[in-house]
A = this chain, B = another copy of it.
Amino acid sequence: MINIEVVLSPALLHLTNVKDCNVVVIDILRATSTICTAIHEGAVSVKAVKTPADALKLKELGYLTAAERDGLKLPGFDLGNSPFDCMNGMVTGKHIALTTTNGTKCIEAVAGSGPRNVLSGSFLNLEALAGWLVNDGHDIVLLCAGWKDSFNLEDTLFAGALAESVKRKAPCRIDCDGTLMAMDLYGCASGNISKFLEKSSHYKRLSHLHHEEDMKFCLQHSVFEDIVGLVDGDMKKI
């Protein structure tokens, strides 16, 4: 039986034992969707770094630099946090150093706690990821990046969708109230996820910044087969 726990905010991560678990980091709009896209588009690796300065240091080593804060690309960087920044051959064969408001911090935070794997979660590769998790068979922790430690709808919704998919494929133990809620929420929304998320705070924030196309892209269901996880400190195809 695969145990599935959902952590609703990085500020609650200390309450969950992630040791030897497959931890899926979830920042649907947009960091983990962008990481999956970059790898799908042929980037060799994406390194999650804490600060823009950390990313710039890696530029000297040949990395492409990518930085976002509060939804905006920072000036002086090669890329922002949009999946479209990774298309048209922009990232093919490249190493990327990425820093974002929420998602990349989670990757760093969880990496030091002894997880079996740290994986990048997105609607884009949902079914492939669920199949991989079932095949691996270890307990699962779904870590929602949220917004500056606050709960958000879109990451929780994805956690529910992924838990639902894993549960369809294998016997699971789901005692965690966060997982039960996320699955119920997905049940409310699964008919039309985009419509459901229009009320969410981050949807409104990104709409205001004219990122509607990014959101539409990130909410596509299972269009990639790539599994992306941490290998020696970098997110890579695994």
Which residues of A come within 8 Å of B, CB atoms? 8-9, 11-12, 15, 147-153, 156, 175-178, 180-181, 184-185, 187-188, 199-202, 204
| Complex: A145 Cα to B176 Cα, angstroms | 16
Partner among B178, B184, B187, B201 whose Cβ is within 8 Å of the Cβ of A176:
B201
Identify the closest chain B residue to A9 (Cβ): B12
Copies of this polypeptide in the complex: 2
Q: In the complex, A199→B180 CA distance in Å?
A: 8
A150 CB contacts on chain B under 8 angstroms: 12, 15, 177-178
Q: A8-B8, A9-B12, A11-B11 are in contact. Are A184 and B188 (CB under 8 A)?
A: yes
Tell me whether chain A's interface is mostly helix, strand or loop, or mixed: helix
Min CB distance A153 to B, Å, is: 5
Closest to A184 in B: B188
Tell me whether A181 and B201 are in contact in the complex, defined as CB-CB below 8 angstroms, given that A149-B12, A151-B12, A187-B188 are known contacts. no
| Of B152, B175, B176, B180, the contact of A177 (CB 8 Å cutoff) | B152
The contact of A12 among B12, B185, B187, B199, by CB within 8 Å, is B12
Task: Flag if B153 contacts A177 (CB, 8 Å).
Answer: yes
